[in-house]
Amino acid sequence: MRAYLRDLVLVVLLEFAGAARTKEVLDRVYEIARPHALPELLKPHGKYRSVLDLRTAFERKNLQISGYLDATEHGVWRLTDLGLEAAKRLKRLGEPRPPKS
């Protein structure tokens, strides 16, 4: 699921021309992943709408650490050049496919 969410975040940011606010990213990832998610991922968790949102937020941090996202602007998820290249490559291969349950 981690790889799927990572790739989905990259492709979603590409849809938003490389940058979007946190809510926009979380909403779009949720919209795409929800039909394929296990029921436990759709349960609320703390301040998050769902465990899926929480895991997506963790992937943001992992993408930042890996150099794919620039997190210098609070509340904005922005692709770096490396992230943009990866997102375009993923898009060419087809939208990330959900993991098999």
Q: Tokens for 75, please give them.
A: 């509340």
Distance CA 69, CA 20 (A): 11
**What average pLDDT does the segment 65-87 reach?**
97
Domains of the chain in start order, with CATH, are 2-93 (1.10.10.10)
Please write the tens of the pLDDT for every residue from 67-76.
999 989 999 9
- The pLDDT of residue 98 is 83
Distance CA 79, CA 54 (A): 20
Query: What's the pTM value of the predicted model, to 2 decimals?
Result: 0.93
- Give the DSSP letter string of 51-87: HHHHHHHHHHHHHHHTTSEE--STTEEEE-HHHHHHH
Please write the tens of the pLDDT for every residue from 23-59.
999 999 999 999 999 999 999 999 999 999 999 999 9
Q: What band does 101 get if pLDDT is binned at 50, 70 and 90?
A: low
